Amino acid sequence: MMMREGQATAIHRQDYAPPAYWIDTVELTFDLDPAKTRVLNKMRLRRNPQVPAQALRLDGEELNLARVLVNGAGTSFKMDGGQLVLENLPEGDEPFELEIFTTCAPDKNTQLSGLYVSEGTFFTQCEAQGFRRITYFLDRPDVMATYSVLLRADKAAYPVLLSNGNLVESGELEDGRHFARWHDPHRKPSYLFALVAGKLVAREQKIKSRSGAEHLLQVWVRAGDLHKTEHAMNSLMASIAWDEARFGLPLDLERFMIVATSDFNMGAMENKGLNIFNTKYVLASPATATDTDFAHIESVVGHEYFHNWTGNRVTCRDWFQLSLKEGLTVFRDQEFSMDMAGSPSARAVKRIEDVRVLRTVQFPEDAGPQAHPVRPDSYVEINNFYTVTIYEKGAEVVRMQHNLVGREGFARGMKLYFERHDGQAVTCDDFAQAMADANPDSELARRLDQFKRWYSQAGTPRVRAEGSYDAQSQIYTLTLSQSCAPTPGQPDKQPFVIPVALGLLAPDGRALPLQLEGEPEAGATERTVVLAEARQSLRFVNVPEPPVPSLLRGFSAPVLLECDYSDEDLLLMLAHDGDAFNRWEAGQRLMLRAALRQLGADDSKPAGPLLPPALVEALRAVLNHPQLDPAFKDLVLTVPSETYIAEQLDEVDPQRIHALREAMRLELATALRGDWAAAWEAHRDTGAYRPDPLSAGRRALAGTALAMLCLAACQEGDPVWPGKAYQRFKDAGNMTDRFNALSALVVCGHELAQPALERFHALFRGDALVIDKWFALQASAPDRGGRALPAVRQLMQHPDFQLRNPNRARSVVFSYCNANPGGFHRADGAGYAFWAEQVLALDALNPQVAARLARSLDRWARLAEPYRAAARAAIERVAGHDGLSNDVREVVTRALG
């Protein structure tokens, strides 16, 4: 068991105070040794004249302190709650020098925060508060310093020595050791510090930016992985070109490095000039990575690169402002992926995928015990606030600003933001203010204070739309109203500013020109109205026929939209809506409606088919449509997830939802059998592998078709399609096709699944990322007669399993707890007991990862019995454990409310 530094209490945004000291320069000297690394930290500090004189309190965690010198002489100090406190510092505003000598033990660091060892290589992770595990420091983002770093290590074991900025010199030392000296010309907060030391090789690329400056790009990996770095390098070059073209933001470094590690808590980290990545978001070859992996790499490489401006050049004043950099940077990476995708239809597919994540992960968070505003008011452990609300909802809040000021206006706002704040640590208010000030005539500027409620109020607003048509006057009245349910600590909500993009469809599907009462003539067929009151009415004139309103196009705001559409209205939109997002949404609403109808029925055995025949025919038409993109068809033909269905209910019976969704899938598989077979034939060959959205979409649709055909076949004991899937599994020319075939067999439970899984493991035994997929597929495989949990326990006995590697823990434990609702929610509560056991086991190794797993039961209070009581008991069991980390304690305390 690790040492816990005592129970932390909540930190409040309102308590922010500027630092009492500034640190101007930092010189770090590392003697790297896995068991005992020595760190000499020489800083130049000065008092902050704006703050009353007080002691210097430096943060530190799990450090051994050897020596403290002030201006070269010994000094008195004391320790207080882990902080190093210096009271007798030189008077006055003159800078002084502080030298601190500490040691730490990277090989004991299983938390992967601070300095740690992964497969014999040293890595750091300092965001949010890892730097204090390396040396004593003012470990807060508003303290920005210039760093020089000297690395010394054994040359044979650690031939490559990297840190932020530029390499100044390197050379040999005695006893087989060597050194490298790095200097970063950009001031930065401590969370952006990084070092890497080990046996690595690099793919290199020289580029010239628009200004003519030369830059060296490097992707560093282990020796056997070099052939898997091409896509990451291409993504990096594309990111650099995109940021320059779209926002005029150039690369400001001579050298930009990406390094991959297989032990990483999150996706990746934007350390200045030295991004450190989870291997999952760097390594890809057609044989080992799926289309989804390729797409994730492009977006994560983009994300971390874009942080160089939104995060690094302008950073956060305090951690409550985290969404300032994360929401904005997610928005930027989403736009990057859309611009890369090209066609309007591929853009829409990306938008639908992003909204799906928002609605299945963020909406539940916003409706549950961990709900918090995009700019939170308090936290116990900041690592618990790297959430979908901060990231994805934060990106939606930026997107709404983009939509309110337009594309050009947004670029102007970004320009002003950098003119004002380059080199500073600022707040979410500063960003919104720059956007508004650059667009003084916009709806954003007019309503800025009200708009900013998106930053301060938690919860997903509900928008109700009611339309009425008067044939006599040809006026269509649309009444929009909004409300937002209470969230923890926020019982009452004020109205939000909600941009609603909309159009009106005539009964034949035509888009009607829009003319509001008082306007001289009809305008375009789509416009954005702003809902800012609790209730508002819009009167459209010269509407010749009763229209169907297509609302919230492109998901123009992160809200729940309620509208009493008839099935016919939705079928019309599914067939004709000019907005691809709403076309997809109409199909989802119809399927959801069918699911809720059945769940509302007393009888759990449906009398007839679950899906109305008209819906099945409409889906058939989409599947066979000659023009629609395969990727779009695939999304339309996917039944809403169990989580999304559950979110619509006040009381959730996960087993009933699971059985119902499976039954709906089987109906779709059987009813469209011939069409699936045709889709498979039409899309199965995509030629030489390229990860572009169009060919990826073809593979996705072929994969779904094969899965559906196997599902129908297994039901009837027909061996043909499972046989074809097995053949495909063996012959596939790329991982996407191979894995889709394997998963079709596993999901339908065919006996060929076992030999296929064995073969797959034998083929890829040396490739950790592929073995993660192998574990994840089995841990999330449909439960048959309660066998999922024993299967998961069995997987954890496999020699390749280890809990301490986060990717591997996620592939088994998280896949079961989060992606296998039918297997996890057992009436006997054994799934929840397993969860409690794993949360505690992980907490002893890695509190950040444990706290993520602890979130699996967030929505326990809505479960029906017997699930509810069993889930509560499991959470109480975790909460009652002695020596919990602050991370897990905060999560379970909130869960129990």
The footprint of Zn ion on residues 541-570 (CB under 5 A) is: none
Q: At what angle do helices 720-731 and 693-716 cross, to 10 degrees?
A: 140
Assess contact for 87 and 55: CB atoms under 8 A: yes
What is the helix (H) or strand (E) element at residue 529, kind and residue range? strand 527-531
> In terms of CB distance, is 288 or 315 closer to Zn ion?
315
- Nearest residue to 180 (alpha-carbon basis) of 216, 149, 217, 158: 149
Rounded to a whole number of angstroms, the minimum distance from the CB of residue 438 to ligand ARG is: 26
Which residues is 137 bridged to in the sheet?
A: 59
Exposed/middle/buried for 419, CB within 10 Å: 0-12, 13-18, 19+?
exposed
> What CA–CA distance (Å, rounded) separates 367 from 345?
31
- Return the residue nearest ligand ARG (CB atom): 386
Active site residue 545: no
Sheet holding 475-483, edge to edge: 535-540, 475-483, 462-470, 560-563
Q: Which does 310 bind (CB under 5 to 8 A by kind): ligand ARG, Zn ion, none?
A: none
Pairing of strands 64-70, 166-172: unpaired
Give the nearest distance from C-beta 421 to ligand ARG in angstroms: 19
* Residue 864, both tokens: 């029906």
Minimum Å gap between C-beta 865 and ligand ARG is 36
Contact 462, 478 (CB under 8 A): no
Long-range CB contacts (< 8 A, 24+ apart) of 725-729?
725/750, 725/752, 726/752, 726/755, 726/756, 728/684, 729/756, 729/759, 729/760
Of 327-335, 338-346, 613-621, 667-675, which segment contacts Zn ion by CB under 5 A? 327-335
Which one of 96-104, 321-329, 379-387, 518-526 is the stretch in contact with Zn ion (CB under 5 A)?
321-329
386 lies in the binding site for ligand ARG (CB under 6 A): yes
Binding status of residue 122 toward ligand ARG by CB under 6 A = no
Q: Single out the residue of 190, 337, 362, 383 in contact with ligand ARG (rule: CB under 6 A).
A: 383
**Least distance (Å) between residue 258 CB and ligand ARG:** 13
C-alpha to C-alpha distance for 517 and 524, rounded to whole angstroms: 15
| Nearest CB to ligand ARG, comparing residues 125 and 190 | 125
Task: Name every residue whose Cβ is closer than 8 Å to that of residue 682 and which is 6 or more positions away in sequence.
Answer: none
Cα–Cα distance measured from residue 820 to residue 158, given in angstroms and rounded to the nearest whole number:
42
CB of residue 248 vs ligand ARG: minimum separation in angstroms?
23
Strand partners, 504: 512, 549
Dihedral angle of Cα 578, 579, 581, 587, to the nearest 10 degrees: -30
Cβ–Cβ < 8 Å for 812, 792? yes
Q: Which does 266 bind (CB under 5 to 8 A by kind): ligand ARG, Zn ion, none?
A: ligand ARG
Q: Which stretch binds ligand ARG (CB under 6 A): 45-53, 121-129, 525-533, 551-559?
A: 121-129
Nearer to Zn ion (CB atom), residue 329 or residue 433: 329
- Residues of span 253-312 touching ligand ARG by CB under 6 A: 265-270, 303-304
- Asked whether 758 and 746 are in contact (CB, 8 A), the reply is no
Which partner in Zn ion, ligand ARG, none is near 265 (CB below 5 to 8 A by kind)?
ligand ARG
**Residue numbers 175-214 binding Zn ion by CB under 5 A:** none
Q: Is 768 in the site for ligand ARG (CB under 6 A)?
A: no
The residue (of 144 and 322) whose beta carbon lies closer to Zn ion is 322
Q: Kindly report the length of the chain.
A: 897
By the rule CB under 6 A, 240 interacts with ligand ARG: no
Residue closer to ligand ARG (CB basis): 467 or 806: 806
Only segment of 22-30, 125-133, 354-362, 439-447 that touches ligand ARG (CB under 6 A): 125-133
Which residue stretch of 318-326, 340-348, 668-676, 878-886 sits at the interface with Zn ion (rule: CB under 5 A)? Answer: 318-326
Residue whose pair of structure tokens reads 């004593």 in the numeric block: 136
Looking at 61, 304, 365, 642, which residue is catalytic?
A: 304
Please choose, out of 124-132, 488-496, 717-725, 727-735, the segment that lies near ligand ARG by the rule CB under 6 A: 124-132
Considering CB distances under 5 to 8 angstroms, the limit depending on partner class, which of ligand ARG, Zn ion, none binds residue 383?
Answer: ligand ARG
Task: Give the containing element (helix H, strand E) for 745.
Answer: helix 735-748
- Asked whether 528 and 430 are in contact (CB, 8 A), the reply is no
Q: In sequence order, what are the residues at sequence separation of 6 or more whose Cβ sits closer than 8 angstroms to the Cβ of residue 167?
A: 180, 181, 182, 255
User: Least Å distance between CB 128 and ligand ARG?
Assistant: 5
Answer yes or no whether residue 127 interacts with ligand ARG by CB under 6 A: yes
Taking the complex as a whole, the smallest distance from the CB of residue 637 to Zn ion amounts, in Å, to 33
Q: Which is nearer to ligand ARG, 399 or 661 (CB)?
A: 399
CB of 269 to Zn ion, least distance (A): 8
454 in contact with ligand ARG (CB under 6 A): no
Q: Is 182 in the site for ligand ARG (CB under 6 A)?
A: no
Point out which span in 192-200, 244-252, 329-337, 873-881 binds Zn ion (CB under 5 A): 329-337
Cis preceding linkage at 128, omega within 30: yes
**Which of the 8 DSSP states describes residue 687?**
-
Fill in the per-residue mask, 499 to 528: x = in contact with ligand ARG (CB under 6 A), - = not in contact.
------------------------------
Q: Give how many residues touch ligand ARG by CB under 6 A.
A: 15
CB of 383 or CB of 433, closer to ligand ARG: 383
Q: Tell me the closest approach of the beta carbon of residue 319 to Zn ion, in angstroms.
A: 13
User: What is the Cα–Cα distance from 779 to 783, expressed in whole angstroms?
Assistant: 10
Using CB under 5 A, which residues numbered 577 to 636 contact Zn ion? none
Q: Which stretch binds Zn ion (CB under 5 A): 322-330, 342-350, 367-375, 718-726?
A: 322-330
Reading the block at residue 175, the tokens are: 């006893």
Q: How many Å apart are CA 880 and CA 893, to the nearest integer?
A: 10
Q: Which is nearer to ligand ARG, 60 or 722 (CB)?
A: 60
- Rounded to an integer, what distance in angstroms lies between the CA atom of residue 139 and that of residue 709? 56
Whichever of 286 and 847 has its CB closer to ligand ARG, that residue is: 847
Minimum CB–partner distance for residue 826 and ligand ARG (Å): 32
d(CA 177, CA 767): 32
Q: Give the integer Cα–Cα distance in Å for 311 and 316.
A: 7
CA–CA distance from 594 to each of 609, 645, 775 (Å)? 10, 11, 33
Q: Select the binding partner of residue 299 from ligand ARG, Zn ion, none (C-beta < 5 to 8 A, by kind).
A: none
Please measure the distance between the N-terminal and C-terminal CA atoms of the chain and give it in whole angstroms.
Answer: 28
Residue labelled with tokens 């297989």: 262
Binding at 128: pick from Zn ion, ligand ARG, none (beta carbon under 5-8 Å per type): ligand ARG
> Which residues are bridge partners to 39 per DSSP?
30, 102
**Cβ neighbours around 756 below 10 Å, total:** 22
Contacts of 94 (CB under 8 A, 6+ apart): 46
Closer CB to Zn ion, 302 or 547, in the complex: 302
CB nearer to ligand ARG: pick between 125 and 433: 125
Q: Which is nearer to ligand ARG, 358 or 646 (CB)?
A: 358
- CB of residue 386 to ligand ARG, shortest distance in Å: 4
Kind of pairing between the strands at 274-278 and 255-261: parallel
**Cα–Cα dist 826/193, whole Å:** 45
Kindly state the smallest distance separating residue 129's Cβ from ligand ARG, in Å: 9
Stretch that binds ligand ARG, among 120-128, 471-479, 594-602, 862-870 (CB under 6 A): 120-128
- Is 164 an interacting residue with respect to ligand ARG (CB under 6 A)? no
Residues with catalytic function = 304
Residues that bind Zn ion (CB under 5 A): 326, 329
Residues that bind ligand ARG (CB under 6 A): 125, 127-128, 265-270, 303-304, 326, 383, 386, 848
